[in-house]
Amino acid sequence: MTETDLSHARAVRIERFGGPEVIDLADVAVPAPGAGALLVRTAFASVNPVDWKIAEGKYPPLGKDKLPIVLGRDLSGTVVAVGAGADAQIGDRVCAFIDTDRGAQSTLVILKPGEAVAVPEGVSFEDAGAVPLAAMTAWQGLFDHGGLEAGQSVLIHGGAGGVGHIAVQLAKWKGARVIATASAKDLDFVRSLGADQVVDYKAERFEDVAHDLDMVYDTQGGETQDRSFGVLRKGGILVSTLDPDAAKAEAMGVRTVPRWHASPDAAALRQVIDLMAAGTVKVTIAKAFPLDAIHDAQAFAQHEHPRGKVILTVAPD
Ligand SMILES: NC(=O)c1ccc[n+]([C@@H]2O[C@H](COP(=O)([O-])OP(=O)(O)OC[C@H]3O[C@@H](n4cnc5c(N)ncnc54)[C@H](OP(=O)(O)O)[C@@H]3O)[C@@H](O)[C@H]2O)c1
């Protein structure tokens, strides 16, 4: 494999399910891009909780029959080859949220027709590679599933996290009133994102400050979700990035959305990238690790309570 060899890539791969020990770097074959598809040399790929859930065999869409699996769902990079009729050119700067049939933590990645979003001047490759999955999770949860509108109120749990820090900004952009929970060390950060009110979830009960809300955006599940139904107005909605308790929602006279997984949506991602170019949405990157340090990157993201996103530096220009 050389810099100019486009038929092989170095990728973060699992051949079986388990802990960090199953994650390895492997040389993988890369197909030539088919009609309308692009081959991208990855600059930055993002690290997400779904990576270790997949590795542990705890992500239902990817069962044993899908092994071996290359990890990673989102990236930025430069187009190095194009399929017939593709609407991009070699050298274009793009980012994408890709389906689970490929992995983004790889030096070369195929983008299917319609997946790539141009990265404009004014948006860094780092930010463009960090944000697609988190932004689509925030967007789809708040707007597509939750129907958040201007003038409504929303409680966002985990406002300093990868998803939460984007959700706070998107909800404010929409014109909602935002209450967000975070740890004490992150309260000023979450305020700086535009949150109208912040709650130190370890020191205060969010129920003491949040009442009659239109929406809860839950990134925590468990006890946090359980206590959240009570802060909604009758008919309000709880949208969870994890498992929502539909029976509890019904009993409390509120709504919820069945379990969903964020999915690629280039049109929505393009809007987020435009908001980033305009300075309306700012991405926070806690730390970048080289691709070879994937174990350190995952351990940091999983255990060190980073603010915002963790990314892998793959092959920056
Ligand atoms: N359904 C989907 O498609 C989808 C997509 C993306 C993510 N997810 C899931 O959504 C969750 C969040 O993802 P992420 O990428 O944002 O993770 P993350 O970057 O690890 O953020 C989680 C945040 O939650 C905070 N937190 C921890 N305990 C909390 C509590 N009790 N109350 C309020 N905040 C708390 C953490 O801060 P401190 O620990 O520092 O306090 C951290 O800032 C993960 O479980 C992920 O798997 C689902």
- Each of the 317 residues of the chain gets a pLDDT tens digit; together they read 456 789 999 999 999 999 999 999 999 999 999 999 999 999 999 999 999 999 999 999 999 999 999 999 999 999 999 999 999 999 999 999 999 999 999 999 999 999 999 999 999 999 999 999 999 999 999 999 999 999 999 999 999 999 999 999 999 999 999 999 999 999 999 999 999 999 999 999 999 999 999 999 999 999 999 999 999 999 999 999 999 999 999 999 999 999 999 999 999 999 999 999 999 999 999 999 999 999 999 999 999 999 999 999 999 77
Which amino acid is residue 286, in one-letter code?
Answer: A
The CATH superfamily label for domain 134-256 reads NAD(P)-binding Rossmann-like Domain (3.40.50.720)
HEC states along 19-78?
CHHHEEEEEEECCCCCCCCEEEEEEEEEECHHHHHHHCCCCCCCCHHHCCEECCCEEEEE
Distance 308 CA to ligand 1 centre (A): 10
- Domain layout of the chain by residue ranges: 8-131+283-313, 134-256
Distance 157 CA to ligand 1 centre (A): 8
Q: What is the pLDDT of residue 4?
A: 77
Tell which atom from ligand 1 comes closest to the C-alpha of 164: 16
Contact (CB, 8 A) for 99 and 264: yes
Task: Tell me the C-alpha to C-alpha distance, in Å, between residue 174 and each of 147, 148, 160, 313.
Answer: 11, 8, 19, 32
- Residue 271, φ and ψ in degrees, nearest 5: -65, -40
Q: What is the pLDDT of residue 101?
A: 95
Q: What is the pLDDT of residue 316?
A: 79
| Structure-block tokens of residue 227 | 């206590």
Q: What is the pLDDT of residue 1?
A: 46
Q: What is the pLDDT of residue 3?
A: 60
In short, whether 160's Cβ falls inside 6 Å of ligand 1 is yes
Tell which atom from ligand 1 comes closest to the C-alpha of 305: 40
Distance 202 CA to ligand 1 centre (A): 15
CB atoms within 10 A of CB 26: 14
Contact (CB, 8 A) for 314 and 44: yes
| Structure-block tokens of residue 3 | 């810099």
Task: Tell me the C-alpha to C-alpha distance, in Å, between residue 127 and each of 21, 155, 222.
Answer: 29, 25, 31
Helix axes 162-174, 132-139, angle to 10 degrees: 50
- Rounded distance, CA 214 to CA 154, Å? 6
Contact (CB, 8 A) for 129 and 90: no
What does CATH list as the number for 8-131+283-313?
A: 3.90.180.10
Q: Whose CA is nearest to atom 18 of ligand 1?
A: 161
Contact (CB, 8 A) for 237 and 255: yes
E-assigned strands of the chain? 8-14, 23-29, 38-47, 69-70, 74-82, 93-97, 108-111, 117-118, 153-156, 177-182, 197-200, 213-218, 232-240, 255-256, 285-290, 309-313
In short, whether 106's Cβ falls inside 6 Å of ligand 1 is no
